[in-house]
Structure 1
């Protein structure tokens, strides 16, 4: 039998017969073992690189909210989904609890919460002593006969056809918080299910994420405890005194600082005003702050009309009882009826007077913080605020949270006070709020516009405003 004619192609002689013995096509040849090993190694290296990048991004988060958002985003990329939600619900019941969504509006999350919890993927992972510890996959919500009708209705409304849920469990030793932390669910637009490789990768990732969340959860609880203690040590309300209106704003830093403020009515219609800051952070600084504030009140009752004597006594107490600490403080003895303030400061930022005709810092003498010299003493200063003017006392945390050098921070504070709208100047609380919003555009809880990672964002902020009628 003659060989078939070859098609005529430029540069090829079709008259040359085909070889009598031909091998199988290259595509049919079995792959060499070395090539398979190389392919598998390349796949493993790619997976490890991806996991390393994602865990590095997660490790860079410093708050529960940012970590949960990163978990949702990274997990969605690993399992090939577009949307999802995470439910933080620690099993010990100590909180905090929250629900965040990826690609879901608040209304969408509300619709998902209407699904009976026992029927939801995260409910099956979180509820009851028999809660599952393995992932829950629903590859096709519309063909699965065990799916709750309400869940199917919500899936139609939101436009998703499958889900994959993974528990968040912190192993013992991952942090002070261990056990079940919550669950994360990813939603597919159409019926789908992650393949074995995707399951393995997201399992490794969520295991690391759970340990990271456990550490952040314990830190958040510690911050909350420190903030609660600090708030309890500060005045729950400011006194009402004829001739003067008072307002205070206090924001505790993430590690719990030692900033305080106080206002105490004194005989003959006078009032003492004080702000201060203890060095350090954490429970020790908060406790030291409470002791110094209480002592300042006692000294104010005994000799408040002499601010230098009050701060001298406070310096002696600090040196004897807290030798390893320093503190800055400003104490003012105000007589609203006379429109007079007598004040002294120890290493503290100068007060700021805000009025219709002037916005200026009070010139106080330079002095060292309390606890740095063998004997502290500095002259007092008299201030005569006009009716309608507001005196702002603040701690340097307000300046440090800007992240600017101190000269620029002072300039920013001065500009913020000068820009207070005339309609707000009759209310010291409105004045304080305007100054905070202007000096810290990102909010007093996050530092400057750069967010929580900005310089100085861990500082306490205290602002005490006194408006003279």
Structure 2
């Protein structure tokens, strides 16, 4: 049989066509993989997508990805492909300076001796006023990928490295830094081969292109994640650190924060003569400005409640005046209830807020409140208060509009679903206000908060009267 013609024996036109076809195929593959990656909206999801796509590009079956930003600000995580949690723990027992992904995380390439970590870039904040340096930040040096063709014969490996490879059944690895000059080092990925192998030049080129794109995408998600964490921290600091203990009533609260952080809030504060003030509310807008407005509004309501809490209409009237004078461009909803647990008596008033829901063994019904506009939308706000007397063992649910809107239903349908959820609370759970709140949330929002819907927080405050 005649041998196939070599590239040198082929006509130039055929060679060009073959190369063009190969380039088009590679570009199509990269386009498909990056399209899938860009659809991920969480760090964990992006890491898993990147790990699976990288395995296909380098021709490996298993692998792991480590997120460990070089600035030390976190978050950190390790995920595996075809590796159990115990396998990841076993790999992490390899001395960091010997493992390929560990060397990449510490800024070492194949040419660097162990322990030769180099400070590639100025620390975070360098070059900014007040940080002791006026020099512009230098781009981070990106370490080279590390290929180990055969763990058994590779020189300079720690014996523990060979032992772990034999135990887990891999014979070679290819490690790629998740790093670019602009983003810095975010982590590393390593793919494991069952037999001695390494990716050829074409595969190295493809995984390099994909890795740079993945790193930039991870850097964007990292900033979003950190911003969300900061907003969540601020929101929690602005809300009560714990609920008060007042004889005759048991309290529980559930607060779910949206991606950008909204202005939903709650409060529960002891008042003179064994009374209790309960409040929920929502400030228009999202992000830091809404959180700041929410903090100011909640603090003001606490002050008004201490001075005249037995008159909820007066409390909300004062709050209306404050909002119009200090934040004329913002509106808010609020509900304040003055409770006397010993008498099982509640007097409440609401401003543009959804009515409370009473849940008990013999009834599940909304409290009839008068319709009123939100705070900040009228020249003068005032609406009559409503009084109710919960029976022993009944729970009163106060909630924000986010609970209804997060269902995705029209308002009347959302109210009907909320009523049905409260009615279906098992009798064994009705003695625990926390269990009541959890059941309602699980029933209305079985998947939690939809990350695609921005800005709608959920607050559910439950008060069970003994």
Taking structure 1 as the reference length, the TM-score comes to 0.89
RMSD: 1.8
CA distance in 1, matches of 2:294, 2:89: 43
SS in 2 for 1:377: coil
- 1:71 aligned partner: 50
Which of the two has higher C-alpha Rg? 1
- 1:329 aligned partner: 334
- 2:457 aligned partner: 460
Structure 2 counterpart of 1:139, from 131, 139, 149: 149
Structure 2 counterpart of 1:183, from 180, 188, 195: 188
Shift of 1:305: 1.3
Structure 1 counterpart of 2:268, from 258, 263, 271: 263
Structure 2 counterpart of 1:90, from 53, 61, 69: 69
- 1:161 aligned partner: 171
1:171–1:211 CA contact under 8 A, matched in 2: no
CA distance in 1, matches of 2:57, 2:186: 21
2:285–2:455 CA contact under 8 A, matched in 1: no
- 2:86 aligned partner: 107
Aligned length: 433
Listed as ranges, the matches of 1:25-44 within 5 Å are: 30-44=9-23
Structure 2 counterpart of 1:436, from 433, 441, 447: 441
- 2:132 aligned partner: none
CA distance in 2, matches of 1:25, 1:396: 76
SS in 1 for 2:97: helix
CA displacement 1:100-151 (0-9 Å, x = unmatched): 1112111111111111111111111112633970000111112224332222
Cα distance, 1:439–1:118 mapped onto 2, change above 3 Å = same
Shift of 1:442: 1.4
Report which stretch shifted further, 339-348 or 412-421: 412-421
- 2:348 aligned partner: 343
SS in 2 for 1:219: helix
SS in 2 for 1:118: coil
- 1:3 aligned partner: none
Displaced runs of 4 or more, over 6 A: none
Are positions 1:192 and 2:197 aligned together?
yes
Taking structure 2 as the reference length, the TM-score comes to 0.89
CA distance in 2, matches of 1:25, 1:161: 33
Shift of 1:457: 6.0
Structure 2 counterpart of 1:222, from 212, 222, 227: 227
Please list every run of 5 or more consecutive structure 2 residues that lacks an aligned counterpart in the other structure. 108-116, 120-141
SS in 2 for 1:119: coil
1:90–1:180 CA contact under 8 A, matched in 2: yes
Structure 2 counterpart of 1:374, from 366, 379, 383: 379
- 1:59 aligned partner: 38
1:401–1:458 CA contact under 8 A, matched in 2: no
Report which stretch shifted further, 235-244 or 136-145: 136-145
CA distance in 2, matches of 1:200, 1:297: 62
CA distance in 1, matches of 2:12, 2:288: 62
